[in-house]
Amino acid sequence: MRDAFDTVNPIVAFVFFAFALIMPMLVMHPVLLGISLVCALIWLFMLRGRKAIGYILKFVLPIMLLTAILNPLFNHAGITTLFYLRHNPVTLESIVYGASSAAMLASVVLWFACFNQIFTSDKIVYLLGRFAPSISLVVSMALRFVPLFSRQAKRISYAQRGAGMGTGGGSVIKRARSGLSILSSLITWGLETSVTTADSMRARGYGLHPRRSFANYRFDGRDALIGGLLALGMLCSALASGFKLISIRFFPSFKINEVTPLFIAFCAIYAITLLIPVIMNSIEAYRWHLSRSKL
Amino acid sequence: MNEAAHEKQNMHDMTGGGTDERILAAERLRARMEADEKKRRLIRRIVSAVLILVFVPSVVLVGMLEWHDRQYYIVSMLIILFSMVPFFFVFEKRRPRARELTLIAVMVALGVAGRAAFAMLPQFKPIAAIVIITGVSLGSEAGFITGALTAFVSNLFFGQGPWTPWQMFALGLIGFLSGILFNDQIKSKWKLFLLCAFGAFATVGIYGQIMDTQYVFSAAQNVTWEMFLAAYASGLPMNLIFAAATVFFLLILTKPLLNKLGRIKLKHGVFR
């Protein structure tokens, strides 16, 4: 099923991801990191289902482990020495810091995993096209050339086989050589095609007017609602860190802000902001359930 | 025959032994293009100077004062992003011709397809070799754009992450440097050897080091020299494979690819 957040205006979606990615990097607060991690995990499971487990085991866990282990080994700052490892102190603070930075890295990687599912190339080209038209044009053309090349490579291979220059069998060296000859004509063809494309673009008036990219995205009421929620979440985050509602210090001794009702309120706002896609998906699923039960 | 004389000869042939005026017009065009190139370089320098002298220190300052120091990760990522802006800005502002755009797009697609074709061998990919050859043949600006966009577009297939800006910067820098250090007259074995040596250095010394530095900044608050050494040591095997791949692909691709690109440049008068 298509993810509900997939249909949101790319600009709003981009701001959401920027917020989700920058917050853990800026504020390495264990509670906020935990919230961010959980929200990213729930959404990733919604997006990728069981495949998410393999991704986490293969990719996210090793990064976390490495970071959590490396920090106490190399960083001896902090005043609470737990034990000595080869005459080097291992401190509680650096273990806590290692765990926090592992959580930070993991949540950044997980949010990026969600980003990769939502931000398909058309959305990226749309976003880039607004302030870097030439670059976005190169990106979209390169994306188009990749499948074109593989198709043409197949054609060249058939043609060579038809001409009696077999590419199917033979020793490794023979196959490598025929592969190289395919590559060679492919590159020549690709370069020549690029000029043909450029001439065709010029003939259609490229460069005469500022270029606009194809966009299938409107900014509707739902986008405004999500944007407003996001803005509220960002404002609260700025205020919370401005008024020292959230503060954290790892070295020399671990110190964290007190848990006040305001802090809990902020955590709730932060969680709701990050859960926007999950909430949207749940509403969608509920609607689906309702419309099905009516039948 | 040097390039200018070659051009003159070409012009002469095309016009069927044409008049001196046409040759003079071609010379004038060439002089104007060179003046444009100088202007572009100046703009790039000014933009880079403003960014490096104003933006980068202010980012570091904000990092120190507002974010309580030692926010290495976000500060270093912002600096990497800022240092790419001048290249893209100048490229965008000079409104590149359609032929330049399509040619760069083809080189990017080649790099991406190459990375996909060798995806089953870890780190054994022709990406850096193709970026280096592009820089050598099409010049430093095209080299930077091709390198940075190859990293970006291939990550659309392999997954974007916090590493994307760093990869873009590292590959862009490799393309930029190869455009500055070499011209496309790589005829002798000695020159090819030098290019391969540069390729090996670029993958280990530039790409590998930038990516390992990225890891240290992402993971640690109190950065120490031992951490960098440990990260470089643990990254070295992968970087060496990448370097071997780059040298291998440079050896087999440099001559044919430079020939083909040279032919396109000569035939269609692009990137000269």
Place of tokens 């959401």: A16
Q: B167 is in which domain, residue-wise? A: 96-272
Q: Mean pLDDT, to the nearest integer, of A260-285?
A: 92
* Mean pLDDT on B205-224: 83
**Which pLDDT does position B244 carry in this prediction?**
95
- What total of structural domains would you count in chain B? 1
Return the number of other C-beta atoms located less than 10 Å from residue A163's C-beta: 8
Q: What is the pLDDT of residue A131?
A: 80
How far, CA to CA in Å, does B257 sit from each of A166, A180, B242, B245? 24, 12, 20, 17
d(CA A214, CA A212): 7
- Range with the poorest average pLDDT among A232-236, B52-56, B83-87, B257-261: B52-56
Listed in sequence order, the residues at least 6 apart from B207 whose beta carbon sits closer than 8 Å to its beta carbon are B128, B167, B170, B171, B174, B239, B242
Query: Each residue of B66-110: pLDDT tens digit?
Result: 555 457 787 788 888 888 888 888 888 888 888 999 999 999 999
Least reliable range by pLDDT among A201-215, B65-79, B118-132: B65-79
Residues of A within 8 A of B266 (CB-CB) are none
- Render pLDDT for A134-190 as a digit per residue (tens, 0 to 9): 899 999 999 999 999 989 988 988 888 888 776 566 677 777 777 788 888 999 999
In a domain, B181, yes or no: yes
Nearest-CA distance A287 → chain B (Å): 32
Other CB atoms closer than 10 Å to residue A292's CB: what's the count?
8
Interface test with A, best of B84, B97, B153, B229 (most A CBs within 10 A): B153
Question: For chain A, first and last CA: distance in Å?
Answer: 20
- pLDDT for res B5: 52
The answer as to whether B31 is a domain residue is no
In a domain, B83, yes or no: no
**A-B contacts (CB, under 8 Å):** 156
**B79 vs A33: CA distance, rounded Å:** 24
What confidence score (pLDDT) does residue B80 get?
86
Domain boundaries, chain A: 4-119+223-294, 127-203
Could you say which of A25, A145, A195 has the minimum Cβ distance to residue B268?
Answer: A195
B118 versus A21: the higher-pLDDT residue is: A21
Is pLDDT larger for residue A105 or for residue B41? Answer: A105
Mutate which of B95, B112, B222, B226 to test chain A, going by most A C-beta atoms within 10 A? B222
Question: Is this model's pTM higher than 0.95 or not?
Answer: no
User: Measured between alpha carbons, how far is residue B71 from residues A76, B40, B211 in Å?
Assistant: 18, 35, 18
